[in-house]
Structure 1
Amino acid sequence: MRLSTKGRYAVMAMADLARNGSGPAAGESEKVRAVSLAEIATRQEISLSYLEQLFSRLRRHGLVESVRGPGGGYRLARPPRETAVADIVLAVDEPIRATRCAGQDSPRGCMMGGERCITHHLWEDLGLEIHRYLASVSLEDVVQRRTRRASPADLSEGARA
């Protein structure tokens, strides 16, 4: 599975930003307050230099805005309900995939002769399901703890389907 520390930490940091940047800054009526990376690093126990690298990528992908000066830091570029977790992961990582192959569009497979393994389509489909799920969950869902957890009944029904 290809969900690295970069993707996990970026989602953690963005959720922290969504939660702690929700109030307007002093003198501002519409914009949310900027949050410093040092604050996020302390709360989430993530290296500040690592966060700086992640936020550089997040800014390039239009997910955050930087604010300079006193009270500066970062704020979300769009509302948390409009930011999908998949967008965050893709901004800092390669596409989510579960296959060993070079890439989805590559004709070259993971086997020594270049062919695809017998389970290739299974893992490729799993990667697509993971992406679909992360695309369906917003940053607001994460902050509000509205991600769906499967109950034992859901799991047994899925096994019968």
Structure 2
Amino acid sequence: MITTTAEYALRATVFLAACDSGTVSREEISSATQVPMDYLVKVMKMLDQAGITQSQRGPGGGYRLAKSAEDLSVYDVVAAVSELPRIETCPLGIAEHINLCPLHARLDSVAALTESAFRETPLSELVPRKGGKSNCSFPKSV
């Protein structure tokens, strides 16, 4: 449903949202979220460019969210690093299906619902709760 890049962006931003301490190093983000360092650097650059995160260079540097987790949606994060796929051609490959065929229309409506759900879900809903059961958890180290 979403790309690996979008998944990694969500892992990183949810982790940043859970951290109360200013900037977080890329090493800490990579370790906690199990996102490979090379991939994380690429993802964080895209998130910075989109205004989702802010980076600080030098000693004590790292990353932090540019806005509160309540003000960022899952859609904001996903759209910053990849496109959400929409159905633009007939999934059956029938050239005569210029307008939406029944299958095309149903698949496109599912994509629209997914996009809507992402827009309506603030990042804060994915942040693990302190002292209680987590909404989400990060993958365990292998």
How high is the TM-score relative to the length of structure 2? 0.81
Pairwise mapping of residues 1-161 of structure 1 onto structure 2 (< 5 A)?
1=1, 3-20=2-19, 22-23=20-21, 33-97=22-86, 99=87, 101=88, 108-110=89-91, 111-113=93-95, 115=97, 116-143=100-127, 144=129
1:71-111, CA deviations, whole angstroms, 9 ceiling, x for partnerless residues? Answer: 101111011100101110011111243x3x3xxxxxx5442
The alignment covers a number of residue pairs equal to 128
Q: Which ranges of structure 1 fall in alignment gaps of 5 or more residues? A: 24-32, 102-107, 148-161
Q: Which ranges of structure 2 fall in alignment gaps of 5 or more residues? A: 137-142
> Is the 1:90–1:96 contact (alpha carbons within 8 Å) kept by the matching residues of 2?
no
Q: In 2 relative to 1, CA 114–57 (structure 1 residues): closer, same or farther, beyond 3 Å?
A: farther
RMSD: 1.8
Q: In 2 relative to 1, CA 45–114 (structure 1 residues): closer, same or farther, beyond 3 Å?
A: farther
Higher relative contact order (CA 8 A, sep 6+): 2
> Is the 1:85–1:138 contact (alpha carbons within 8 Å) kept by the matching residues of 2?
yes
> Residue in 2 aligned with 1:151?
none
The 1-side partners of 2:96 and 2:16 are apart by 44
Q: Quick one: percent identity of the two aligned structures?
A: 29
> Is the 1:96–1:131 contact (alpha carbons within 8 Å) kept by the matching residues of 2?
no
> Is the 1:34–1:74 contact (alpha carbons within 8 Å) kept by the matching residues of 2?
yes
> Is the 1:66–1:74 contact (alpha carbons within 8 Å) kept by the matching residues of 2?
yes
